[in-house]
Amino acid sequence: MTKISIKEVLDFCFCPRYYELKHTDPNESNFKELYDKTLHKCFYAYLRALQNDTLKNSIEFIKYRWGVEWIKQKKNSEVICTPSAAKRDTYDSKRRAGIDAIITFDNLMSTPQCPILINKEYSIKITRDITLTGVWEYIREVTINEQKRFQILKIRTENNRFQIDDLMRHDLELTAAAFAFQKMFTAEDFDLVYIDIYKKKMSLSSRSDKDFLLLKETVKSVVNCINNKIKCISPDKKCFHCEYRDVCSSKL
C-alpha cells in the first residue's frame, strides 16, 4: 500500500531532486514555503471567523493575524537584531508582500457565501494499492442567479514559477480536489474557483472525466518512479530560482 499527497506528486513532477530535498530532508528550509503556509494560516482563521459569524472588521482581523503569524516565525534574537542584512530585508519584503496579499484576499472574498469546509484533509483511492491525499482548502456555498451552488476554492499566494500546472485549467491539485469531492460526496454539479493572490484575480473552471483519468495516470507513474528509484533530473533555468539551489548537487 502506498499513500502519497498531491503536493508530493507535483513536486516530483517538477524535479525529483526538489522532491527529495523538500520531503525527505527536514534540515533544509524553504522560505517561500514558510511564507505560503503562514499566509494560509491567516486565510483559514479569516474563513473560520466567517463560518462562526464572529468576523466583524474583516481587514483589521486579518491584518492582526498576519502580524501575529509572521512575527511568530522569528526567534527573539531575530526580532531584536537580525544578524544578516539580507535576511532582514527578505523578512521585511515578505512582511510587506503579506500585507498586500491579505488586502487582496479580503477584496476577493467579498462575495456573500456560506462556508462549508475549511482546510479539510481528504483521502481517495487511485488504485487498489495507491491512496492519494490532499486538502480541500475551502468549500463554500454561494447563490448565483437565485440558484445555490457548491464551489471548491484553491488559494495561490505566489507567482507559480515551478509547477507544471501553471494554468488554472490544468492545475493538478485542483483536479485532485474536484475528483475527491465528486467521489466522496457523489456530487456532479459544482464549480472550481482559483484565487490568485499574486495576480489579484479569481477564475472559474471545471473538470472532465479526461482530466480525472490524466490525474490517475500521473499519480500511478510518480508512485512507480519513487518506489523503483527512477529519477530523471534535468537542470535548466528554473534551477536559478529554486530555494534549494545552494544544497543541490544537480544544479547548473
Write the pLDDT tens digit of every residue in 1-34. Answer: 899 999 999 999 888 988 988 887 655 556 778 8
> Has residue 247 got a pLDDT over 90?
no
CA angle 71–42–151, rounded 5-degree value: 160
User: Cell digits for 20?
Assistant: 527529495
Residues 104 and 118 in one domain: no
Tens digits of residue pLDDT in 57-78? 899 999 999 988 887 755 555 5
pTM of the model: 0.85
Domain of residue 68: give its range: 31-108
* Rounded-to-integer distance, Cα 139 and Cα 118, Å: 7
The mean pLDDT of the chain is 85
3-state secondary structure of 126: coil
Question: What amino acid is encoded at 224 in this protein?
Answer: N
Residues 142 and 192 in one domain: yes
- End-to-end CA distance of the chain, in Å? 36
Name the residue with cell 475549511.
118
* Rounded-to-integer distance, Cα 31 and Cα 36, Å: 9
Residues 212 and 137 in one domain: yes
* Rounded-to-integer distance, Cα 104 and Cα 107, Å: 5
Model confidence band, residue 150 (pLDDT cutoffs 50, 70, 90)? very high
Residue that wins the pLDDT comparison between 28 and 137: 137
Whether residue 244 is contained in a domain is answered as no
Whether residue 138 is contained in a domain is answered as yes
> Has residue 184 got a pLDDT over 90?
yes
Residues 44 and 149 in one domain: no
- Total residues belonging to the chain: 252
Stated as kind and residue range, the H or E segment containing 182 is helix 172-185
